[in-house]
Structures are given as structure tokens and as C-alpha cells.
């Protein structure tokens, strides 16, 4: 009995909207597609779920208050990903496995959902568009710097991602100043900004004493190592770092074409 899954909702339908509480905020999600797969009885009923970005201090009663278009964008890890999952079960339910419920109850965060209503799913409003068909292997599409993937996951995955984002939000709230990457403040962990700023600062100083080529290679190696530990360099970050390295190299009299060649050869991002 102890290991039986906890049923959160019976017979959910396409278009059903639910909400749950996380640290005093209410988050809404909708079942945007349902699918029955007769071949796999252990995961026969499949539910494609999106969590919406806007949260509330109390559950709204009017449909107009809920933004049913903007999907929650993950801030921490996996960064720049839409919070969009596929949950699959043997029976037509939304449920959570025992270990997930126990895990959150330790922190007095009980996993429950409340039915709010049913609204027609209009995927044309989703920006960017999401994938609503099952693909094997799972498709990962990148649009506007955001990864879109129907990730197969237990329901507790939603809670863990938002919980991680709340921790991340508190960390990045630390006040810092930035010389090279001011645009990252508020979007990237403050600790990471401070570390990459230090690496670039050392590079700029080394150019004058050790030469640009040697210093550039050393700098890129340090950036590779930092990203390997923190996984923070995506499309926009890569462009910003690339442009900054080129600018410093050029300002120190180094050939820009040569600098581009070195960066492209040495970087892992």
C-alpha cells in the first residue's frame, strides 16, 4: 500500500486546466493533447502538459486573468527550455509516484492539484510553437533561443523544475556589477557572471604581457572548463563571449580573422 502512486486526477481530458501551489504562488497547467497507445499498456494513456508562465498569489476566477499562451520558460536547468512534458500511465489518471510525494512532504510541500476548468486548446497561440505529436527519438527543436521538447517525465518533474528556479532566482538576485556582460544580470546566476568576468579580465591583462594568441587560448580553455561545470553557455551567451574576445583581441592589435580561427578551433561551446 505504501508504494502505490497517488492519484491527482481521474480521467483528465484534453483542454483540462489545473493549478497547484508552490511557495505561496499558484501555477496553472493545461493538458494540450491526449494520446492512447495500444502497444504499450504500461504507458497507454499519454498526456501532453504545458505549464503557463504567469503565477498568482490566489487562484483567479476569471478566464481572462489566465495567460493561456505563454508557456513557462525554465530559468535554471535545463535552461531556456519550455516546461512541457509527457506523462504516461497504465490507467487514465494524472498521478505521482510515492517517492516524489515523500520527497516534497519532507519540505512541507505537498503535491496536489486542483481542477479549474476546460478550455479549447489553441496551440496557434503558443510562442514558440510546441510539438504535439509523439516522436521517437524525442524531437528537440530550438526556436528564438528556446528548446522545445516533449520530455517524458513524472509529474513531480514540474515541481522540481519550479523549485530549482526559485532557488536560482534567489541566487541571481545578488547585486553585482559587470564590465563585459551587463546584459546577463538578472538572467544568469550572479556567481557565474563573476567567474566569467574574472576570466575575461585576466585575458585582457595577459594580452599585454604574454601576447594575444597564447592568452586567448588560455582564456578559452578556462571558459570551456567553467561551462563544463556550470552549463551556462547557450546561443546568446556564446555570441556575447565570442564578440567580447574578438573585441579585446582586435584592441590589442591582433588580426581578427586569426582570432576567429583560434576561438572556433579551441572552444567547446
pLDDT at site 2: 54
Residues 157 and 244 occupy one common structural domain: no
What is the enclosing helix (H) or strand (E) of 114?
strand 114-118
Which position has the higher pLDDT, 263 or 127?
Answer: 263
Calculated CA dihedral for residues 260, 263, 266, 269, nearest 10 degrees: -120
* Model pLDDT for residues 194-234, shown as the tens digit of each residue: 999 999 999 999 999 999 999 999 999 999 999 888 888 98
pLDDT at res. 103: 77
Whether 75 and 189 map to the same domain: the answer is no
- For residues 32 and 122, membership in a common domain is answered with yes
Judgement on whether residues 122 and 26 belong to the same structural domain of the protein: yes
Q: What's the mean pLDDT when you consider all of the chain? A: 89
Residue 50 CA to residue 83 CA, distance in Å, equals 6
Domain end marker among 146, 172, 198 = 172
Owning domain of residue 37: 6-172
Query: pLDDT value at position 127?
Result: 87
Number of domains into which the chain is organized = 2
Tell which wins on pLDDT, 152 or 103.
Answer: 152
Do 111 and 188 lie in one domain? The reply is: no
pLDDT in tens, 131-190: 887 666 677 888 877 888 888 888 889 999 998 888 877 766 667 889 999 988 877 878
pLDDT > 70 in the chain, percent: 96
Both 205 and 159 in a single domain? no
Amino acid at each position: 500500500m505504501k508504494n502505490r502512486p497517488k492519484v491527482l486526477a481521474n480521467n483528465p481530458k484534453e483542454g483540462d486546466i489545473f493549478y497547484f501551489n508552490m511557495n505561496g504562488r499558484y501555477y496553472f497547467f493545461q493538458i494540450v493533447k491526449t494520446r492512447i497507445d495500444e502497444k504499450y499498456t504500461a504507458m497507454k494513456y499519454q498526456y501532453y502538459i504545458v505549464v503557463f508562465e504567469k503565477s498568482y498569489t490566489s487562484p483567479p476566477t476569471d478566464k481572462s486573468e489566465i495567460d493561456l499562451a505563454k508557456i513557462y520558460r525554465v530559468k535554471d536547468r535545463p535552461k531556456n527550455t519550455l516546461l512541457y512534458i509527457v506523462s504516461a500511465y497504465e490507467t487514465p489518471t494524472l498521478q505521482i509516484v510515492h517517492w516524489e510525494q515523500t520527497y516534497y512532504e519532507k519540505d512541507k510541500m505537498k503535491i496536489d492539484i486542483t481542477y479549474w476548468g476546460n478550455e479549447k486548446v489553441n496551440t496557434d497561440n503558443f510562442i514558440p510553437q510546441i510539438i504535439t505529436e509523439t516522436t521517437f527519438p524525442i524531437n528537440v527543436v530550438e526556436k528564438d533561443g528556446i528548446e522545445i521538447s516533449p520530455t517524458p517525465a513524472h509529474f513531480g518533474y514540474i515541481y522540481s523544475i519550479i523549485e530549482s528556479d526559485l532557488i536560482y532566482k534567489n541566487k541571481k538576485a545578488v547585486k553585482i556589477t559587470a564590465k563585459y556582460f551587463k546584459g546577463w544580470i538578472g538572467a544568469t546566476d550572479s556567481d557565474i557572471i563573476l567567474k566569467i568576468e574574472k576570466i575575461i579580465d585576466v585575458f585582457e591583462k595577459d594580452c599585454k604581457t604574454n601576447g594575444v594568441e597564447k592568452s586567448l587560448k588560455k582564456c578559452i580553455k578556462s571558459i570551456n572548463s567553467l561551462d563544463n561545470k556550470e552549463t551556462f553557455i547557450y546561443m546568446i551567451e556564446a555570441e556575447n563571449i565570442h564578440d567580447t574576445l574578438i573585441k579585446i583581441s582586435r584592441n590589442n592589435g591582433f588580426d581578427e580573422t586569426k582570432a576567429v580561427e583560434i576561438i572556433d578551433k579551441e572552444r567547446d561551446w
